[in-house]
Amino acid sequence: MEQAAHLVPLNWYLFLSTFLFCIGVMGVLFRRNAIIILMCIELMLNSVNLLLVAFSAYSGNSDGQVFVFFIMVVAAAEVAVGLALLISIYRNIGSTDIDVLNKLKW
Amino acid sequence: MYTLIYTCCLGLLCLVAEILNLRKLLIPIILGGLAAIFFVNYMDWQNVAPMIIGGMDMSHMIQVDHFTVAFNGLLIAAAALLFSLSADFYKDEQHHLSDYLAILLFILSGAMVLTSFSNLIMLFLGIEIVSISLYIMAGSRKFDIRSNEAGFKYFLMGSFASAILLFGITLIYGSSGSFELAKISSFAAVSGMNSPMFLVGSLLMVAALLFKVAAVPFHFWSPDVYEGSPSLVTTMMATLVKVSFFAAFYRLMSGGLLGIDGYTNDILVIVAAATMIVGNLIALSQENFKRLLAYSGISHAGYMLLAILSLKTDSSSALFFYGAAYVLATIGAFAVAIPVFKATGKETVDAFDGLGRKKPFLASMLTLSMLSLAGIPPLAGFLGKYYIFSEAIKNGYAVLTILAVLASIVGVYYYFKVILAMYTKTGDETEVKPSLLYTIVMLVCVGLSLLLGVWPGGLMGLP
Amino acid sequence: MSQLLFFILSTMTILSALVVVFTHKPMYSVLSLIVCFFTIAGHYILLNAQFLAITHVIVYAGAIMVLFLFTVMLLNLNSDSDVPKSGKLRIAATIAAGMLFVTLLASIKATTLGEFTLPPPSDKGMVEHVGQRLFTDYLLPFEISSILFLSAMIGAVLLAKREKN
Amino acid sequence: MMTILLLFFPLIASLAVLLGGSKLAAKLALGLAVVELAITGYVVSVFQASGPEAFYVFHSWIESPKVSFHLGLDGLSLIMVLLTNFLTPIIILSAFNRNTPHAAGYFSLILLMQFALVGVFTAMDGLLYYIFWELALIPIYFIALRWGGENRVAITLKFFIYTLAGSLLMLFGFIMLYWYNPDQSFDIRELYRIYITDGNQSWLFWMFFLAFAIKIPIVPFHTWQADTYRESPTQGTMLLSGIMLKMGTYSLIRWLLPILPVGVATWGPLAITLCVVGIVYASIIAIKQRNLKNLLAYSSLAHVGLIAAGIFALNIQGLQGSVVQMVAHGVNVVGLFFCADIIFNRTNTNETNELGGIRNLAPQFTTMFMIIVLGSVALPLTNGFIGEFLLLYGVYEYNTWLSVFAGLTIILGAVYMLRMFKKVMLGETGIRVPEFPDLYWNEKLALSMLVIVIIAMGIYPQPIMDMAEPVLQTILNKTVI
Amino acid sequence: MTFLGLMIPLLPLMGFLVNGLLGKFLPKGSTGWIGSLSVLASFVCVLLLFKDLGAAQAISIDVFNWISFGHIDISFGLWIDSLTMIMLMVVTGVGFLIHLYSIGYMHGDHGFTRFFTYLNLFIFFMLLLVMGSNYLMMFIGWEGVGLCSYLLIGFWFKNEAYNDAAQKAFVMNRIGDLGFLMGMFFILFHFGTLDIQAVEGLATGLSADSTLLIGITLLLFVGAIGKSAQLPLYTWLPDAMAGPTPVSALIHAATMVTAGIYMVVRSNVLFAMAPTTLTVILWIGVATSVFAAVIGLKQNDIKKVLAYSTVSQLGLMFAALGLGAFSSGIFHLVTHAFFKALLFLGAGSVIHALHGEQDIRNMGGLKKLIPVTYLTFILAALAISGFPLLSGFFSKDEILAHAFEQDKVVWTILFISSLLTAFYMFRLVFLTFFNNFRGTEETKHHIHESPWTMTLPLIILCVLSVIGGLIGIPAVFHVSHLLDTYLSAVTEPSASLLHHGEKLSHSLEIGLMTLAGLAAIGVILYARRKYITLKAMPEADSAITGLPKLIYHKFYVDEIYESWIVKPVFKMSEWFGTFFDKQVVDRLVNATADVMDSGGKSLRLFQTGNTGFYVFAMVIGMVVLFIIRLLI
């Protein structure tokens, strides 16, 4: 196991995370449904988490792992607040389409 | 050192007070508490010591120094003014009062984290505390579609920016191996320029912070959110929060990324120039007062970026003074605007029509605030602007400063739009009656603006 | 072996992530995101972060995604209500994200991380160690994050509670 | 100490008037302005004996970017302060019997303006000076905005922003100077000493020149002027044209010439050409102006153009001439605008075509008006002549052909002024002049003061020149490179 | 003597102040006497001073230091020498007579007090002009008299045409004044002083006819052209007849217009050292003399005829100066002051009698109705025409003799000019006083001789016109030339500088005098035949055609000035004011604001309100930052 893991270069994690991050970004740009966008943001956060853990593991210092806990905390809080906002909006306009939200402009 | 803790406790106290049915006493309690905290903070100035919790030295998380103390003082003062405004503002929402106030206090504590962090994790947490609380506050008028929209837009973009910030932090961690500002700083000084990952990480962090301070091209949220949010929240965003983000930005750049300023500064120059131009130009054609101030806030962000750019020669005092002047002027303006909005039911500039005739006192307060924002002597805004320009020129950003000078000329036009509305137009005969606290806030803000403009005294060159 | 695992997990991660983005039905998105999170948990185990992997599954799959699921169902979202963006915007979005990816990679490509090697498994990823750090070095952020939670909690209640207008 | 009293008394007076209420405002303001004038008179009387050293005030003010509260009264400053404090009571007096609404605010702003102007003329620290410079803009803006004519809003805003634009460039210039100064301060004594490379002087010149050129104004930066003069209430116009323009010319002498001698040497020829072109240009335009205030505005433009030209001639007679003419023009133009106001007050029009025949109805007014007109067309034995003589001689020494061109003002000035006088005062009674009561006591008093000064200065200008001479010589020596 | 010297200008000034400030409190009519007596007192002072002051002596009075800057001091100083003395006597003497006359003439006028106020002020300034010890002092007087001229021409201010004339006079004078001013600058710059005596002393150190001296003298002469109404700046003088007639007599005949002559003589050393300038002066004088005389032939307004005659005579004086005959110029100045003042006063008396009628076509036969006027007028006309042994005869012949000495062409032209003068003067006399009255019966009924205040000055001036020549009887009669001798101290320095032609032999000189006298008589007789015997009448305006029409319309000089100078300037004013200033200069300023405004308006369109777009923009912004960083 350790021998095998040895063979995974850190670069790959970097690549994977970056790719995942960009998929998340694309999702945010791609979709109109607020919930999906939220999920894409979660995806971005997870790519960060993955990279942090990878860095932490490879450098042998656990700060990265601890940080991930905090990111999870924040993500949870964010989601809670976000979904609450979403519900509140849905009650008012009956939609979760972000393109409908354009009262405020110019 | 413990102002942060005390502020958090004050927030908790708020929630407890609700349970104990002490709603009526909330504001006095908070104001008293803030006064006490301000005093504690003042004592810190004399005796800066590391923060110790449970026998453990926390200075790798929080570093209290003069910079922190100065900015904390400003934040506390701003918060006190804002809380004074909140009593009247939330008169019709008594059942949520303690929630709102608690959240506002949490924002203050988050902002205090931002002024004192010495670890990226604290930066991140500080930003999130402030941001998440603000998402809530922005959307807190839940039957108002505009408030919903503001809250949600802010939330979506803010989370997105948080993700970017995190990615940047991660890359920095990956290359430097630490979240501690001191270690990052030494890494940046030694090998920062040779580590592409570090540079990209810094750039992503800078981008995220530029989003938080609403600099072009990451500014899009701010006009919409300012306009849609309840006025008091807008005031808070424009003052306390903005200044704390700038403090964080300054701290990050000076405490961590100073070694690679050759890399970041070119970017910041472009961003600052674009911010000043875009903010000022768009503000010219705004009709909504809050939106107008949002764009004006964008342009002020451009000026404050000049201070960030010149941090090599320790421009923190310039940033501080500018921030103070800006906070005072903006709160002063909103202290007039909120009662006017309430009375007229409009939030556009023409809500002020004829105020000069109806209420000369209110009009003069707003006028002085606007003049201070426009940077006209002898108000504090002028000295702030002067100070920042001076620092920028000292660091060789002469051309950018000329641009800033020209941009601020444009700025005068839209500030005067408000003044002109008050003095040259005739409005309907709605009675505007600001409460006593509002009047006091106005007087304090404008008085301090004048005083600082004439006698900056120790406040100049403070941190 | 480890590389193979990495590849399998990574492929699943990416595919499920893409499904999240491209599927039309919100419900599918949620489900595939859960899959994605599980694969990431697999990565964590690969990286010797066992405690984190558990927590990840519990928090993300167990709490956050359930929250999403609830919301999707509560709001009765289905594919009909999900209007896709116009073609042009989709292309623009793809290009923008692609460009971000390219520029990010181009900027950090010179970094030589291949030399890093995974240290031998240690207790670093174990609950004892993490807990130890969390309550000593990271005590302050830990406490502060409670403020964040508190704020979010109040906010969520404030916003989502049904009230009379 | 006297300097501080001199500076802050108007500020206190302004507050007192504001608090005193509208009924008393005019009288109170006048009384306080007269007290200020008396203080000035006292200073002048002891100035000869004590010299300028007695009036220096120096306090440190801001530590970190070193700004000091440095005031000084040398001959040049004292002359300008005297002008300000002499004209202010007259300006206030001119507003008597006019039923100004919100009088407390109005007179308070006038006194605030006086405060700022005295500050500009006494400040010896760059930033302090700059603060007063901009401060002066605010009261005049509000005076014009609240008590002005129909189209005031857009016009005054343009005025404000235009002049502010120039000022901000000057601020930039000052900050540059600050950093060029090895000791890093704005103190004028140090700024006079610092070394600035030729290249830097060359572009810094424009930062300052633009600010002053807009304020003075020098063609082609003058387009705010005529409109603003027309739309401002008379007292505002008087303040603007009588004193505020002098801020620009004073600053040229005080700040631009000695600090940036190379810049002046490089761009001076262009500047003086602009000035001279402006003189002729403005004079020609003035001929056909139909609105009295517009005409006076253009005439003022021509006159200050000559003042600026004399300054850029860089010789003692040019500088002396500019100082004398600053005072002379201040007195004359205030008188002229006051006359315009008297006419407007009685006929409700300033269109020259609708006026005429006033001479018959108001002989006293006519005489006063005539003398002021003569002063402004530079008839010998009036103040205008001394100034123009010295200025033209200064320009002559600089360049003969320029002086011939500038000298056209002698001819064109007579053309437009007399044409105006003829249309307004002479001939058959105009359609808007059914009856025209002669001067009221306050008008008579104010105009007689002006007329006395016009003639006295024309006959014996030497005290002013003696007062200014040492300062001007010092400054002149600094411009020699 | 200093006291007397100071009193001379101060007395009229006091008269001015008393009349001007207290006039309305004084009893009606007394103001005229105050004005007149102040001038008389001044005249007495002049006489007392004359008694004390020797011909070669001079007094210098420094009142105070007027302007000093750098190393230059200009004092407020007076200088009295023989030349000044002569001018003082003319100014105060003739001035007093005209004041006296005005008491009658202006009686009952609405602005009686005002008139005397102005008149006293004029005398004050004129005295300063002639007494000034430096050019700047002279310039005070120079412009001051211009002002009074302006005030008095436009005295009846309700009449638009009069106001225009006044303004024209002032502006045209100002053109000349600019020249004078520039001349002063030249002097000040090169000599460092404006003191006339000092300048003359310094100038002699320069080489003759140097560019500098030519420049200075030409510029000063430009001033003289304006003030003394020479070509091409003469057109204001005929228009100036709009003023009350005593004004025309005092200012526009006897004193102010001769200031140019005085100035040249005062600076005679400078001019003598610049022969080129003298030539210019000569030819301008000659041209003016004949040009104005020709115009005078066809004028029908009694005052206009006299005005052109004045222009012509001034030209003659300048010709004398151009010839270097400075004292002859002054001599003619003095005699001219007598007879031209008399002519104007006489004309005034006529106009007074006819209640304002000025057109000679409506006069005639007045000699019996106003005999005193008639008699004095005709004697003055004879004097100006050069009737033998009258004052004009001597002074004019002196100039002609000088001309003959130096240039025959000049002599010829001047001779013709003087014949023309004789003709138009007698055309005027005959048409006015002889034959039958051509006005209405009504008017005729009211004609009466003027009161004594008016006739007394006429008689005194008449005596002076007749005997005035005595001060300058030519050397051929073996009597000393009083004036020449008296002025010699002033003109001596220049005389040595000039190279006069061959002195005329006595016989030739007598021959020339005889010729001139006879020719004048001949022309008068011709005029008599034409206008009395043949009863020729000037045509009505519409009937004038051809060359006479050209002359009648003064060669259309005014019209040319109007359309070539005045109109273009006005057009330019209009264009600059309404188009260039507003549409170009101001438009540029406003355009800046507009660009900002439209820039803002288009930029705000990016703020679409669409969150998707915002995020998109953020991403693109980041990409751009990365690309910038990658590229730089």
Q: pLDDT for D269-296, tens place per residue? A: 999 999 999 999 999 999 988 888 889 9
Mean pLDDT of D237-266: 91
Tokens 């995190």 found at: B166
The predicted pLDDT at position B103 comes to: 92
E622 neighbourhood in chain B, CB within 8 Å: 164, 204, 207
Q: Between D103-122 and D126-135, two packed helices, what is the crossing angle to 10 degrees?
A: 160
- C85/chain E closest Cα distance in angstroms: 10
- E238/chain D closest Cα distance in angstroms: 19
Q: Do chains B and C touch (3 or more CB pairs under 8 A)?
A: yes
How far from chain centre, in Å, is Cα D386?
Answer: 17
B57 phi and psi, to 5 degrees? -75, 125
Q: How far is Cα D42 from Cα D46, in angstroms, rounded to an integer?
A: 6
Q: Do E288 and E314 touch, CB atoms closer than 8 A?
A: yes
> pLDDT confidence of A4, banded at 50, 70, 90?
very low
Q: Does C139 touch chain B (CB under 8 A)?
A: yes
What per-residue string of b and e applies to D436-462 under the rule 16 or more CB within 10 Å gives b? beebeebbebbbebbbebbbebbbebb
The predicted pLDDT at position B114 comes to: 94
Residue B178 zone, left/alpha/beta (φ > 0; ψ -120 to 50; rest):
beta
D398 neighbourhood in chain E, CB within 8 Å: none
E595 neighbourhood in chain B, CB within 8 Å: none
Q: How far is Cα B201 from Cα B182, in angstroms, rounded to an integer?
A: 16
Instruction: For an interface test with A, give the residue of E607, E611, E616 to mutate (most A CBs within 10 A).
Output: E611
Q: Do E607 and B282 touch (CB under 8 A)?
A: yes
Nearest 10 degrees: CA dihedral of E586, E588, E591, E593? -70
Please name the chains neighbouring C, where neighbouring means 3+ C-beta pairs under 8 angstroms.
Answer: A, B, E
Residues 6+ apart with CB under 8 A from E462: E342, E375, E376, E379, E380
Residue E303, classed as helix, strand or coil, is helix
C140 neighbourhood in chain B, CB within 8 Å: 51, 53, 58, 61-62, 122
Average pLDDT, chain D: 89
Q: Do A66 and C138 touch (CB under 8 A)?
A: yes
Q: Do A48 and A21 touch, CB atoms closer than 8 A?
A: yes
Q: Do D220 and E585 touch (CB under 8 A)?
A: yes
Residue of B nearest to C155 (CA): B136
Q: Do D389 and E136 touch (CB under 8 A)?
A: yes
The predicted pLDDT at position B250 comes to: 94
Q: Does D462 touch chain E (CB under 8 A)?
A: yes
Residue E276, classed as helix, strand or coil, is helix
Residue B38 CB neighbours (<10 A): 18
> pLDDT confidence of D120, banded at 50, 70, 90?
very high
How far from chain centre, in Å, is Cα C142?
Answer: 21
**Nearest-CA neighbor of D172 among D216, D131, D136, D204?**
D204
C157 phi and psi, to 5 degrees? -65, -45
- A25/chain E closest Cα distance in angstroms: 8
The predicted pLDDT at position E502 comes to: 67
B241 phi and psi, to 5 degrees? -65, -45
**Rounded to whole angstroms, what are the CA distances from C117 to A2, B170, B379, C114, E466?**
10, 18, 60, 8, 135
> What is the dihedral sign for C-alpha D210, D211, D212, D213?
positive
The predicted pLDDT at position A67 comes to: 92
Q: Do B51 and B59 touch, CB atoms closer than 8 A?
A: yes
The domain limits of chain C are 2-125, 126-165
CATH number (1.10.1740.10, 3.30.1330.120, 1.10.10.10, 1.10.287.3510) of A3-97 reads: 1.10.287.3510
Q: For chain E, positions 564-623, list CB contacts with chain B under 8 A.
A: 593, 596-597, 599-601, 603-604, 606-607, 609, 611, 613-615, 617-618, 620-622
Q: Do E429 and E443 touch, CB atoms closer than 8 A?
A: no
Q: Do D408 and D333 touch, CB atoms closer than 8 A?
A: no
Rg (CA), chain C: 20
Q: Do B171 and C141 touch (CB under 8 A)?
A: no
Q: Do chains D and C touch (3 or more CB pairs under 8 A)?
A: no
Question: Under an 8 Å CB criterion, which residues of A touch B?
Answer: 14, 17, 21, 24, 28, 34, 37-38, 41, 44-45, 47-48, 51-52, 55, 59, 61, 63-64, 66-67, 70-71, 74, 77-78, 81-82, 85-86, 88-89, 91-93, 98, 101-105
Instruction: For an interface test with E, give the residue of C103, C107, C108, C109 to mutate (most E CBs within 10 A).
Output: C103
Cis amide leading into B456 (omega within 30):
no
Q: Do B386 and D164 touch (CB under 8 A)?
A: no
Q: Do D28 and D16 touch, CB atoms closer than 8 A?
A: yes
Q: Do D17 and D114 touch, CB atoms closer than 8 A?
A: no
Q: Does B54 touch chain C (CB under 8 A)?
A: yes
Q: How far is Cα D146 from Cα B347, in angstroms, rounded to an integer?
A: 25
- B223/chain A closest Cα distance in angstroms: 8
Whether residue D116 is predicted with pLDDT greater than 90 in this model: the reply is yes
Q: pTM (2 decimals)?
A: 0.91
Q: How far apart, in Å, do the first and last CA atoms of chain D sit?
A: 37
Instruction: For an interface test with E, give the residue of D299, D353, D410, D423 to mutate (most E CBs within 10 A).
Output: D410
Residue E201 CB burial class (10 angstroms; 0-12, 13-18, ≥19):
middle
Q: Do E88 and E127 touch, CB atoms closer than 8 A?
A: yes
How far from chain centre, in Å, is Cα A22?
Answer: 10
Mean pLDDT of D453-463: 90
Average pLDDT, chain C: 83
> pLDDT confidence of C123, banded at 50, 70, 90?
low
Residue B42 CB burial class (10 angstroms; 0-12, 13-18, ≥19):
middle
- C29/chain E closest Cα distance in angstroms: 19
Residue E75 CB neighbours (<10 A): 21
Q: Please state which CATH number belongs to domain C2-125.
A: 1.20.120.1200
Q: Do C82 and A33 touch (CB under 8 A)?
A: yes
- D9/chain B closest Cα distance in angstroms: 17
Q: Do E607 and A105 touch (CB under 8 A)?
A: yes
Partners of D67 in beta bridges: D62
- C41/chain A closest Cα distance in angstroms: 9
Residue E427 CB neighbours (<10 A): 23
Q: Do E45 and E93 touch, CB atoms closer than 8 A?
A: no
Whether residue A1 is predicted with pLDDT greater than 50 in this model: the reply is no
Q: How far is Cα A37 from Cα E383, in angstroms, rounded to an integer?
A: 117
Q: How far is Cα E295 from Cα D174, in angstroms, rounded to an integer?
A: 67
E613 neighbourhood in chain B, CB within 8 Å: 220
Q: What is the ipTM of this complex?
A: 0.90
Q: Which two tokens stand for residue D87?
A: 């004209």
Residue D208 CB neighbours (<10 A): 24
Strands (E), E194-238: none
The predicted pLDDT at position C78 comes to: 66
Q: Does E626 touch chain C (CB under 8 A)?
A: yes
Q: What is the DSSP letter of E77?
A: E
Residue D473 CB neighbours (<10 A): 15
Q: Do D411 and E175 touch (CB under 8 A)?
A: yes
Partners of D128 in beta bridges: none
Q: Do chains A and D touch (3 or more CB pairs under 8 A)?
A: no
Per-residue pLDDT tens over the stretch D403-442 = 998 999 889 999 999 889 888 888 888 777 778 888 888 8
Residue D205 zone, left/alpha/beta (φ > 0; ψ -120 to 50; rest):
alpha
A–E interface: beta-carbon pairs under 8 A: 27
Q: Do B101 and B83 touch, CB atoms closer than 8 A?
A: yes
Q: Do B287 and B373 touch, CB atoms closer than 8 A?
A: no
Instruction: For an interface test with E, give the residue of B152, B162, B285, B403 to mutate (most E CBs within 10 A).
Output: B285
Q: Do B121 and A3 touch, CB atoms closer than 8 A?
A: no
How far from chain centre, in Å, is Cα E450?
Answer: 28
- Give, for E76, the enclosing helix (H) or strand (E): strand E72-80
Rg (CA), chain B: 21
Partners of D125 in beta bridges: D187
Q: How far is Cα E138 from Cα E123, in angstroms, rounded to an integer?
A: 14
Q: Do A106 and E612 touch (CB under 8 A)?
A: no
B119 neighbourhood in chain C, CB within 8 Å: 141
Whether residue B329 is predicted with pLDDT greater than 90 in this model: the reply is yes
Q: Do D69 and D59 touch, CB atoms closer than 8 A?
A: yes
Q: Do chains C and A touch (3 or more CB pairs under 8 A)?
A: yes
Q: How far is Cα E224 from Cα E261, in angstroms, rounded to an integer?
A: 7
Q: Do C53 and C41 touch, CB atoms closer than 8 A?
A: yes
Please name the chains neighbouring B, where neighbouring means 3+ C-beta pairs under 8 angstroms.
Answer: A, C, D, E
The predicted pLDDT at position A20 comes to: 92
Q: Do B160 and E607 touch (CB under 8 A)?
A: no
Whether residue B304 is predicted with pLDDT greater than 60 in this model: the reply is yes
Per-residue pLDDT tens over the stretch D58-100 = 988 887 778 889 998 888 999 999 999 999 999 999 888 788 8
Q: Do E626 and C107 touch (CB under 8 A)?
A: yes
E603 neighbourhood in chain B, CB within 8 Å: 278, 281-282
Q: Do B135 and A85 touch (CB under 8 A)?
A: yes
- Greater confidence (E455 vs B242) lies with B242
Whether residue B300 is predicted with pLDDT greater than 70 in this model: the reply is yes
The predicted pLDDT at position B240 comes to: 93
Average pLDDT, chain B: 90
The closest CB to that of E608, out of A25, A29, A102, belongs to A102
Whether residue C116 is predicted with pLDDT greater than 60 in this model: the reply is no
Q: What is the DSSP letter of D67?
A: E
Tokens 């003087």 found at: E418
> pLDDT confidence of A3, banded at 50, 70, 90?
very low
Per-residue pLDDT tens over the stretch C53-82 = 998 999 888 888 888 888 888 877 765 556
Q: What is the DSSP letter of E257?
A: G
Q: Do C26 and C72 touch, CB atoms closer than 8 A?
A: yes
Q: Do A101 and E608 touch (CB under 8 A)?
A: no
Tokens 């228009």 found at: E239
Task: Count the alpha carbons within 13 Å of E117 in the hemisphere toward its beta carbon.
Answer: 16
- Positions of chain E with pLDDT lower than 70, given as ranges: 499-502
Mean pLDDT of A7-25: 87
**Nearest-CA neighbor of D90 among D332, D279, D404, D291?**
D332
Q: How far apart, in Å, do the first and last CA atoms of chain B sit?
A: 16
The predicted pLDDT at position A5 comes to: 46
A102 neighbourhood in chain E, CB within 8 Å: 608-610
Q: Do E41 and E11 touch, CB atoms closer than 8 A?
A: yes
The predicted pLDDT at position D56 comes to: 87
Q: Are strands D57-62 and B56-57 parallel, antiparallel or unpaired?
A: unpaired
Q: What is the DSSP letter of A100?
A: G
